[in-house]
């Protein structure tokens, strides 16, 4: 990477795109950034294929992807590494008893260090990355200088809708990161994802998959919801509903019990995934009931010419 030709990157894009649904543009931008030797932040809500895209890129290039969860407990020592206390007591400090953290491991292996919830990590921990990003090397006390292999990258992800427990990135950090905004896929792509991930087929699935996607997407637009569900909610809604159909011996999508069964599946799959605005005097269950009524009662009534 960094010396990849346009043809090489183009071939990589085509191979990876075959495994992703509705992410062609974001994949192209991400490939261009990392092939150019740049570090990157992916900004978008959960369930928008950020991790899937990175896994596909690193698997294609045959390099490691090291995960780190950004939170208040992520200290510089956890990121860089530490000396084994027991061996230090026996042998004193040395390079041999240094236990590498994910940053050093990624640098040594030439992998991607992927930090999820990047803006939840403490500022002093993020500042530890500055030298690694600027110089592609870090100085570790009693170990020495560790230089990164050429394929090393820092990749961060952030959820723009999550304000609790997050911090604003410093100019020094953000200035060293390229940024790609990763939004939700369109409805057609999400229907494709649900069909692919669930493997559901037949008459029930042909109605269920569009319904599951529609009610899930509606959670993102409801005025009382601060953050709606990702496509993972639609996948689970379809799978739970499918099992309920079997338990209730339903096989015909026109059956009167179809819509009530979908509602039950919505409660199971979506109620824990939506975050209601604190100022709204409602509950996830009420929101889902409104969405269900709009999809299964009001819309059919509007479509009925009588």
pLDDT per position as a tens digit, 28-68? 899 889 989 999 999 988 888 888 888 888 888 889 999 99
Q: Phi first, then psi: what are they for 300, rounded to 5°?
A: -60, -35
7 has pLDDT over 60: no
pLDDT per position as a tens digit, 98-150: 788 899 999 999 999 999 988 888 888 888 889 899 999 988 887 888 899 99
CA–CA separation, 208 and 210 (whole Å): 6
For 234, the token pair is 């639609």
**Mean pLDDT over each residue of the chain, to the nearest integer:** 86
Mean pLDDT of 248-270: 92
CA–CA separation, 191 and 9 (whole Å): 28
| pLDDT of amino acid 128 | 87
For 104, the token pair is 């050093």
pLDDT per position as a tens digit, 150-168: 999 999 998 876 655 566 7
Mean pLDDT of 2-21: 63
Q: How are beta strands 40-43 and 178-181 bridged, if at all?
A: parallel
The alpha helices in 171-230, defined as continuous H runs, are 171-174, 187-198, 203-219
CA–CA separation, 140 and 261 (whole Å): 58
Using the structure block, give the residue that is written with the tokens 């599951």: 212
| pLDDT of amino acid 302 | 67
Residue of 304 and 114 predicted with greater confidence:
114
CA–CA separation, 167 and 186 (whole Å): 30
16 has pLDDT over 80: no
For 245, the token pair is 């159909």
Q: How are beta strands 275-276 and 225-227 bridged, if at all?
A: antiparallel
Where residue 130 falls (left for φ over 0; alpha for ψ -120 to 50; beta otherwise) is alpha
Give burial (CB, 10 Å; 0-12/13-18/19+) of 178: middle
């Amino acid at each position: 990477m960094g010396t990849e030709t346009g043809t090489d990157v183009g071939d990589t894009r085509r191979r990876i795109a075959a495994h992703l649904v509705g992410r062609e543009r974001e994949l192209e931008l991400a490939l261009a950034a990392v092939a150019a030797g740049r570090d990157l932040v992916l900004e978008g809500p959960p369930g928008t294929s950020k991790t899937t895209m990175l896994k596909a890129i690193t698997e294609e290039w045959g390099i490691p992807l090291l995960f780190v969860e950004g939170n208040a407990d992520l200290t510089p020592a956890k990121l860089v590494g530490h000396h084994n206390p027991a061996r230090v007591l026996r042998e004193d400090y040395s390079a041999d008893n240094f236990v590498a953290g994910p940053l050093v491991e990624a640098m040594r292996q030439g992998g991607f260090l992927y930090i999820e919830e990047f803006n939840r990590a403490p500022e002093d921990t993020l500042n530890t990355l500055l030298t690694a990003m600027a110089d592609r090397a870090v100085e570790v006390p009693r170990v020495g200088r560790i230089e990164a292999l050429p394929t090393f990258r820092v990749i961060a992800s952030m959820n723009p809708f999550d304000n609790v427990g997050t911090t604003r990135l410093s100019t020094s950090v953000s200035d060293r990161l390229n940024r790609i905004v990763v939004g939700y896929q369109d409805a057609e792509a999400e229907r494709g994802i649900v069909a692919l991930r669930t493997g559901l087929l037949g008459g029930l699935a042909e109605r269920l998959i569009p319904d599951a996607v529609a009610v899930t997407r509606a959670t993102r637009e409801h005025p009382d919801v601060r953050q709606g569900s990702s496509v993972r909610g639609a996948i689970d809604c379809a799978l739970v509903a499918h099992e309920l159909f079997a338990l209730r011996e339903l096989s015909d999508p026109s059956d009167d019990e179809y819509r009530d069964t979908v509602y039950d599946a919505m409660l199971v799959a979506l109620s824990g995934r939506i975050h209601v605005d604190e100022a709204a005097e409602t509950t996830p269950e009420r929101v889902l009931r409104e969405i269900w009524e709009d999809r299964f009662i009001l819309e059919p009534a509007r479509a009925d010419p009588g």
